[in-house]
C-alpha cells in the first residue's frame, strides 16, 4: 500500500440529518470513540453554533483524548457584508477548540445570487477572509465547496474561482461536494481530474447518494487523483444518505491498494458498523456490502457446494478480512452440503457420508412439513443439529406458564400479565410480569426468572418480532410461525417457533433464543480458557 487516503467521517453531522436519527450527547461520544478506535482520520462532530446539544457535546468531548482521529468543527463562511471577526458563527467555531475546522461555502453562481443573495465577488471574499482568519488562529482548514459539480457544469470558471479563493486564504485541503447526489461517475472523474490538475493542495470528494452512486462517485474521484473522502460510516444522511464509508474503505484498501485505516483495524469494519447502527437505533441493512448480515450468505445448493470447494468462486473477498462471517441458509434449494457445513462447525471431522447427516436432513424435512422455516432462523437450526449430535443439554425447564389478557384500566400502562415457573438443576423459580401484550409479559417473566440463575441474560433484548399465519383457510385455528431476532448489543441471532397457539409459538422461539445465547457464552468461556 503506497498512497494514503484521508477518511473524513461526518456521521455526527451529516448523518444526524437523516430521517429517524437523533443522537444524544452520550450517543455522539460513543460514536467518536468507535471511529477513533477504527482509525478514521477526521471526525466531523457538528456545528457548535447550531444547537445547545452540539455546544454541550463540544464541551464534554474536550475531556476525551483521541488516539488517532482529529475532531473537526463544521461551519459556514462568514455572512455577507459583515466583518469575519464579528460573525457569531465563526466565534463559536473558535470556542469549540478543535484543531480542525471544516468550512463550507457556495461554489454555484446560482446559489450565490439567488439563495444567499449576494454578489459573486462578495462570495469569494467571504470564502477567502473566513479561511484566512481561522488559519491565523492556528487551525487546519478544510474547505467544502458546496454544490461544486452543479456549479462547475453551470459556470466552470466561477466554480474554480471559489476553490482559488479558498487556496488563497490558506486552506489545507479543498473538497468537491456532490451535494444533490445526481452526478454520474464519469462526470465526477472528469471534473475532479481538472481540479487536481489545476491545484497543488489536496483534493477531496463529498458525495450524496440520491442517484445510488455515492460510493462509485467517491471511488472515481480517487481514481482522478483525490486523496480525501468524506462520508458517513454506514451511509446515514439526509434524503438518500451519504457515501458509505464502510463500503468505500474496504473497496479502496482491499482491492485498490490504498491505505485508508490502519491495516490491523480492517477486521473491525463489521463490528463498528453494527455498533454505530445500534447506537443510532437504526437496523443495519442485512444486504449492506461487506458488513451486512447477508453480505456473505449463500442459499442455493450449487452455490454452497461451490463455496465449500473454492470460496473465491462465489465470494469477492474472504469475509474474515472485514470481520464478517460466511453463512449458509437452510431452504428448499439448499442441500446436503449446507447441513454438512453447519455440522462441521460443531464437529469438524464429520463427513458427508456420516449417517447423522441424513438423520438431521430427515428431521429438518419433518419440521418444515410442520411449518418451520430455517432460512432466517439459523440459530434454531444449530440447536437442532446439536440435539441430533448429542451436543446439547437444556439450561432450564419450563414447568408451567400462564398468561392473562384484559382490557386495561384507563390509567394503566399494561393490558396483560404472565406467570411462569422454571427449574434449573432442580432449583425452582416462580415469577410474574406485566406487559403490553401476553407475549411481552411472558418474555419479561421468563427473563426475570432466568436472571436469578443466569445474570448475563440482562444484556439480551428483542430487536424484531414477526408472525406469519401459515394456513389461512383454517381461520382462527391456523398455525402461526413466529420469528424472533435477539441481540446482546454486539451479536444478533434469530430463532423460530411454530404452533396453532401464537403464545406457544412465541415461547418456543424465546426459549431457543435464550438457550442459544447461553450456549455461545459457554463456548466463549472455553475458548478464553484454552
Q: Are the beta carbons of 106 and 120 closer than 8 angstroms? A: no
- In 147-222, where do the E strands start and end? 173-178, 203-207
Asked if residue 189 lies in contact with residue 224, where contact means CB atoms within 8 angstroms, the answer is: yes
pTM for this prediction: 0.73
Is pLDDT above 90 for 526? no
User: 191 and 303 share a domain?
Assistant: no
* E-state strands within 55-186: 70-76, 100-106, 140-146, 173-178
Last residue of some domain: 332, 367, 388? 388
Q: Summarize pLDDT for 288-325 with one digit per residue, the tens.
A: 999 998 898 776 555 556 666 666 767 899 999 999 98
The set of cell numbers assigned to 430 is 416462580
Tell me: the pLDDT tens digits for 7-21? 999 999 999 999 989
Q: Give yes or no: residues 189 and 257 share one domain.
A: yes
- The answer to whether position 286 is within a domain reads no
Whether residues 380 and 401 fall in one domain: no
pLDDT of 151 > 90? The answer is: yes
Half-sphere exposure at residue 194, Cβ-oriented, CA atoms within 13 angstroms:
15
Q: Are residues 84 and 219 in the same domain?
A: yes
How many domains does the chain divide into? Answer: 3
Confidence at residue 392, expressed as pLDDT on a 0 to 100 scale: 83
Would residue 284 count as lying in a domain? no
Using pLDDT thresholds of 50, 70 and 90, give the confidence band for residue 388: confident
CATH of the domain at 87: 3.20.20.70
Tell me whether residue 290 is in a domain.
Answer: no
Q: Specify whether 325 is located in the same domain as 364.
A: yes
Q: How many CA atoms lie within 13 A of 404 on its CB side?
A: 10
Q: What is the mean pLDDT of the chain?
A: 88
Rounded distance between C-alpha atoms, residue 25 and residue 55, angstroms? 10
Within this chain, do residues 43 and 109 fall inside the same structural domain, yes or no? Answer: yes
CATH of the domain at 465: 3.30.160.270
Quick one: average pLDDT of 156-184?
97
Task: Return the pLDDT at 366.
Answer: 84
Q: How far apart are CA 334 and CA 386, in angstroms?
A: 19
- Considering the domain architecture, whether residues 60 and 208 belong to the same structural domain is answered as yes
User: Cα-flanking dihedrals φ and ψ of residue 81, to 5°?
Assistant: 65, 25
Residue 39 — φ and ψ, nearest 5°?
Answer: 105, 25
pLDDT higher than threshold 60 for residue 530:
no
Query: CA-CA distance, 194 to 196, in Å (whole number)?
Result: 6
Domain for residue 291, yes or no?
no
Mean pLDDT of 387-405: 87
Mean pLDDT over 467-473 rounds to 74
Q: What is the pLDDT of residues 92-148, one digit of tens each?
A: 999 899 999 999 999 999 999 999 999 999 999 999 999 999 999 999 999 999 999
Q: Indicate whether 288 belongs to any domain.
A: no
Average pLDDT of the segment spanning 182-196: 97
In a domain, 501, yes or no: yes
For 145, 149, 156, the CA distances from 109, given in Å and listed in that order, are: 12, 12, 10
Answer whether residue 289 is part of any domain: no
Which structural domain, as residue segments, surrounds residue 468? 397-529
pLDDT surpassing 70 at residue 336: no
What CA–CA distance (Å, rounded) separates 13 from 96?
A: 15
Judge whether residue 280 has pLDDT over 60: yes
Three-class secondary structure of residue 136 per DSSP: helix
Last residue of a domain, one of 369, 388, 407: 388
Q: How many CA atoms lie within 13 A of 426 on its CB side?
A: 0
Which pLDDT tens digit goes with each residue over 25-72?
A: 989 999 999 999 999 999 999 888 767 778 889 889 988 889 999 999
Task: Give the pLDDT confidence score for residue 48 in this predicted structure.
Answer: 82
The pLDDT of residue 483: 87
Query: Both 242 and 157 in a single domain?
Result: yes
- To 5 degrees, how large is the angle CA 370–CA 374–CA 376? 135
Residues 524, 483, single domain; the answer is: yes
248's enclosing H/E stretch is helix 245-250
Same domain, 260 and 324: no
Domain boundary among 220, 251, 279: 279
Looking at the domain assignment, is residue 285 inside a domain? no
Whole-number Å distance between alpha carbons of 421 and 397: 9
Amino acid at each position: 500500500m503506497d498512497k494514503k487516503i484521508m477518511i473524513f467521517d461526518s456521521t455526527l453531522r451529516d448523518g444526524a440529518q437523516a430521517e429517524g436519527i437523533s443522537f444524544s450527547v452520550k450517543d455522539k461520544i460513543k460514536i467518536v470513540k468507535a471511529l477513533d478506535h477504527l482509525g478514521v482520520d477526521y471526525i466531523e462532530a457538528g456545528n457548535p453554533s447550531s444547537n445547545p446539544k452540539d455546544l454541550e457535546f463540544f464541551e464534554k468531548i474536550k475531556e476525551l483524548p483521541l488516539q488517532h482521529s482529529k475532531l473537526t468543527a463544521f461551519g459556514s463562511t462568514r455572512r455577507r457584508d459583515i466583518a469575519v471577526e464579528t460573525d457569531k458563527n465563526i466565534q463559536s467555531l473558535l470556542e469549540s477548540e478543535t484543531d480542525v475546522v471544516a468550512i463550507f461555502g457556495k461554489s454555484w453562481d446560482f446559489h450565490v445570487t439567488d439563495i444567499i443573495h449576494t454578489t459573486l465577488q462578495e462570495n469569494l471574499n467571504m470564502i477567502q477572509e473566513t479561511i484566512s482568519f481561522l488559519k491565523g488562529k492556528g487551525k487546519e482548514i478544510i474547505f467544502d465547496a458546496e454544490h461544486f459539480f452543479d456549479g462547475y457544469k453551470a459556470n466552470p470558471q466561477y466554480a474554480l474561482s471559489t476553490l482559488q479563493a479558498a487556496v488563497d486564504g490558506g486552506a489545507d485541503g479543498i473538497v468537491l461536494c456532490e451535494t444533490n447526489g445526481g452526478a454520474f461517475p464519469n462526470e465526477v472523474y472528469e471534473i475532479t481530474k481538472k481540479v487536481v490538475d489545476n491545484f497543488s493542495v489536496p483534493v477531496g470528494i463529498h458525495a450524496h447518494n440520491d442517484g445510488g452512486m455515492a460510493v462509485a462517485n467517491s471511488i472515481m474521484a480517487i481514481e482522478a487523483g483525490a486523496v480525501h473522502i468524506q462520508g458517513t460510516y454506514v451511509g446515514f444522511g439526509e434524503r438518500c444518505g451519504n457515501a458509505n464509508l464502510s463500503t468505500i474503505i474496504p473497496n479502496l484498501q482491499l482491492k485498490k491498494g490504498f491505505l485508508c485505516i490502519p491495516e490491523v483495524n480492517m477486521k473491525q469494519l463489521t463490528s463498528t458498523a453494527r455498533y454505530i447502527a445500534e447506537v443510532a437505533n437504526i437496523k443495519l441493512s442485512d444486504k449492506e456490502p461487506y458488513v451486512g448480515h447477508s453480505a456473505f450468505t449463500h442459499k442455493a445448493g450449487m452455490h454452497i457446494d461451490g463455496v465449500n470447494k473454492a470460496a473465491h468462486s462465489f465470494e469477492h473477498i474472504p469475509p474474515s478480512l472485514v470481520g464478517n462471517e460466511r453463512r449458509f441458509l437452510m431452504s428448499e434449494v439448499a442441500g446436503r452440503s449446507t447441513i454438512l457445513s453447519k455440522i462441521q462447525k460443531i464437529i469438524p471431522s464429520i463427513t458427508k457420508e456420516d449417517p447423522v447427516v441424513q438423520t438431521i436432513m430427515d428431521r429438518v424435512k419433518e419440521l418444515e412439513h410442520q411449518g418451520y422455516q430455517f432460512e432466517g432462523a439459523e440459530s434454531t437450526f444449530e440447536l437442532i443439529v446439536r440435539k441430533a449430535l448429542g451436543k446439547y443439554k437444556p439450561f432450564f425447564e419450563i414447568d408451567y406458564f400462564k398468561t392473562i389478557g384484559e382490557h386495561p384500566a384507563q390509567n394503566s400502562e399494561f393490558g396483560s400479565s404472565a406467570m411462569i415457573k422454571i427449574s434449573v438443576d432442580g432449583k425452582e423459580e416462580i415469577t410474574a410480569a406485566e406487559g403490553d401484550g401476553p407475549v411481552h409479559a411472558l418474555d419479561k417473566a421468563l427473563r426475570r426468572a432466568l436472571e436469578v440463575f443466569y445474570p448475563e441474560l440482562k444484556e439480551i433484548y428483542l430487536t424484531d418480532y414477526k408472525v406469519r399465519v401459515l394456513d389461512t383457510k383454517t381461520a382462527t385455528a391456523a398455525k402461526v410461525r413466529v420469528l424472533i431476532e435477539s441481540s446482546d448489543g454486539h451479536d444478533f441471532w434469530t430463532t423460530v417457533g411454530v404452533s396453532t397457539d401464537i403464545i406457544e409459538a412465541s415461547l418456543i422461539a424465546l426459549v431457543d433464543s435464550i438457550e442459544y445465547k447461553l450456549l455461545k457464552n459457554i463456548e466463549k468461556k472455553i475458548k478464553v480458557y484454552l
